[in-house]
Chain A
Amino acid sequence: MSAGIELDNVCCDFGSFRAVDHVNVNIQPGEFFSFLGPSGCGKTTILRMISGFTDPTEGVIRIGGTDVRGQRPNQRPTALIFQNLALFPLMPIWENIAFGLEVRGVDKAKRRKRAEELLALVDLHDSADKMVSQLSGGQKQRVAIARALAVEPAVMLLDEPLSALDLKLRQHMRAELRAIQKRTGVTFIYITHDQGEALAMSDRVGVMSQGRLQQVANPRDIYNNPVNGFVASFVGENNILKGNVQAAADGMAGFETAIGTFKARLPETSAGKAVKLYVRPEHVALTNAAGAENSVPVTLTEVAFEGNFITVHAVTENGTDMIAELRNDGAGSVPASGSKMHMTFDARNASLLPDSTTTGA
């Protein structure tokens, strides 16, 4: 029923521009896999290659182990949910959903019945005879999902399906999509530029930049153990310090910067490369006295009290901007803007990372 997808050294050129560059990934049957990356990094192109609308310039795509080169989109066991949904506005909802069955020669009574079942599955009862224009954004979203599910695809491809919805609905639909995926067991390949979405929904995430896959890992590792600066910065915020590695041992290293020497993790993937120090704002603490190690004297420039946490912007003696995100424990006082304090962080929470995987690779 559900199938795995292999992308084997897949490239895609538009003229002299390489939109997708040697992408290798093996997506498991029944997996919820997300491609995460900024706009224009080649996500849609990957999806269009899997569904058959664009041919790879190089490389092989296998669906369920079968090389699909030469197969038209209407021959592939995939269903694509377009970024703009592409529902058929001149057909009532039920015909939209049953279109794939109509194509397969299913008779009208059965089509109607199946459409109503699918409408129930996506929580849209009593809408069978409405027209597309009568539905809200979230409802259209569900119709698009039902229409894709109707053809019982082995793989569902979703191109930023929630980007048009407002925040509340988006969060609700995340859970819904995940539930539908669990219920149907279909492989989902999901595209988004929203890191929260990718992390919250996926079994694994592939982070992309400029056509290249930077890292493939589960959401926890993407966030906690990014392999390079691009992944670290694209997924969450960071304080970034420039400098040079001094001494490295047991995955830890000393890192000399203009504002002192710090201790930080040096992942194997960073060995021998030009690196910067990355530490997330929520791992930075604010103290009155200097700490024993990894301590920077700063002047607070802006303190924003945001309820559950306090965001502190500060600047070091040499003018580097730093951010700390402090949890509001209810008791502590809020530091004042302009005060001189120290920012400290644990060496295990700081990583030395190259800019991107491909430099030197």
Chain B
Amino acid sequence: MELISPTEWAKDLVQAIQDWTYLAARSIGNIFRHPRYVSDTLQQADLIGVGSLPIVVLTGFFTGGVLALNAARTLEQYGSLSLTGQLVSISMVRELGPTLAGLMVAGRNASGMASELGSMKVTEQIDAMRALGTDPSKKLVTPRVVATIIMLFFLTIICDFFGLTGGFAVSQLGLHLDAHQYWNNAYQTLEFGDVIIGLIKPLLFGFLVATIGCYYGLTSRGGTQGVGRATTQAVVAASILILAVNYFTSQLLLYLLK
């Protein structure tokens, strides 16, 4: 293994961030330019949205369930078991729904994008596309970014809902709470700000997942091994960034919405 000097490493990192920023900015700019690849976008939306639905539903359901289980143990000590719905609801909508849906889509689709575009890159299909007069940024990147942002938005709502359902299942079957009370509690506690935070996050996460997946794919080199490496790096980078950005958006939005 060759050692890289810290300055070399820092230079590469700055260069990578710069390249990613350019790719990301262009992917959004393309939305306002011709040609627009609507059918490619729909195809990606199907792949990302419909494809990720089962995994997001299951993740949401079980997380909601385990939240209720743990919340109940603490709340019971204070005799306020009835607040279970409230706890599940706040955690799911504000933090866990967006984060979990984001992480699931990162695992499934950032990797998929990196490996698909990476294979195209190392077999010169990207160059062939450019040579045929098509802008890969318009044909490949923008449809993925747009589709991921829109689909992750809805997947998050679905994840939230199934999280609440999971919490409800546990409170009904395990804790024997009143159904009406659970849902009422869950609904009443949500403030406008919570919902806004919970719905802005998936837009950011979707943008991150798709641009990072495409970036690693389009910059991969070194044959099939290089594509494998790009795929892993894309998932790692997207996941870490989702968690980091989640923290900072929570901070920021809580401050702004005060």
Is the pairing of A and B real?
Answer: no
